[in-house]
Amino acid sequence: QGASINATGNQSNIVIRGGVLELAEQASVNNFTSPNSFASSGDIVIRAQTIRLKDISSITNTTGFASFSFGNSGDILIDTQTLEVKDGSFISNIVGDLSLGKGGKVGITASSKILISGRDPTGVIPSAVFSNTLSGGDAGPIFLSAPDIQLENGAEINGSAVNIGSGRPADITLSADTISLTGGSQILARSLFGVGEGSIITLKGLGGANPDPSPAQSIFISGLAESPNPLVNNRPSGIINNALSG
């Protein structure tokens, strides 16, 4: 329970390869910038046939969250056949409130399916892919690519800027044949209290390339959240890209 793999330092990478990778019971893989330094964190690179996160487990790359840092956070790069993120587990790249650096990319490619499902038992923590900034540094972009991308039961893809600085929310791109958001699941790229520029949310098909990508074959958005958390209960599924202040 709570087992972890950690790296801290100047571009110290974490590389995991295998057949099946399962993180359970709050297990975590973490990469941090060195405290009070100009150093950037390294990348987290995971290649496995099946990847499962459950029981509030996590994969995180962070700069300046608990100590001052000028460095950037590294990328999170995942290549798999099937990714499942459940029970309040999350994959996150965070620019902390004590950072002057920028966030790295969250890039997830699955040859079959990406499933992000549910929340923790209290309904407070969503199963999610995050790229957030809490300071003046920009959040890194989120890229998800798979034939089938499903968010269900209050899950989130969240690229918001939660700050009083100029940090920009993450651009979010989903490439898939089928994209579904059900049961109060949401894709968010909000600017909360900050003055940074807005971001772009793109949903497109697997074929084609910018500036003329092919459309997804199906985009399905439906349903309300059912949660013990009153702040989430009855929340509609949807895509939100706005500035609440600033």
In this predicted structure, the answer to whether residue 141 has a pLDDT above a threshold of 80 is: yes
In this predicted structure, the answer to whether residue 244 has a pLDDT above a threshold of 60 is: no
Helix (H, G, I), strand (E, B) or coil at 59: strand
Write the DSSP assignment of 195-238 as a string of letters.
Answer: ------EEEE-SSEETTEEPPPSEEEEE-B---SSTTTTTPBPE
Counting Cα atoms < 13 Å in the Cβ hemisphere of 64 gives 28
Q: What is the mean pLDDT of residues 18-44?
A: 86
CA distance linking residue 182 with residue 160, whole number of Å:
20
In this predicted structure, the answer to whether residue 22 has a pLDDT above a threshold of 50 is: yes
Label residue 241 by pLDDT band (50, 70, 90).
confident
pLDDT for position 168: 84
- Give the residue from 29, 88, 27 showing the smallest Cα distance to 56: 88
Per DSSP, the chain holds a count of helices (H) and strands (E) of: 0, 22
In this structure, of 22-26, 154-158, 240-244, the range with the lowest mean pLDDT score is 240-244
Alpha carbon 177 to its chain centroid, in Å, reads 20
pTM assigned to the model: 0.92
In this predicted structure, the answer to whether residue 245 has a pLDDT above a threshold of 50 is: no
- Give the residue from 58, 43, 46 showing the smallest Cα distance to 9: 43
pLDDT for position 101: 76
Among 87-96, 99-108, 160-169, 191-200, the range of highest mean pLDDT: 87-96
Q: What is the mean pLDDT of residues 202-226?
A: 84
Query: Which residues share a beta bridge with 78?
Result: 46, 108
Write the DSSP assignment of 99-149 as a string of letters.
Answer: B-S----EEEEEEEEEEEE-B-TTS-SBPEEEEEESSSSPPPPEEEE-SEE
- Give the residue from 165, 175, 123 showing the smallest Cα distance to 144: 175
Percent of the chain with pLDDT over 90: 58
Q: What is the mean pLDDT of residues 205-213?
A: 70
- Give the residue from 245, 228, 224 showing the smallest Cα distance to 161: 245
Higher-pLDDT residue of 17 and 96 is 17
pLDDT of 93-125, one tens digit each? 988 766 677 889 999 999 999 999 999 999 999
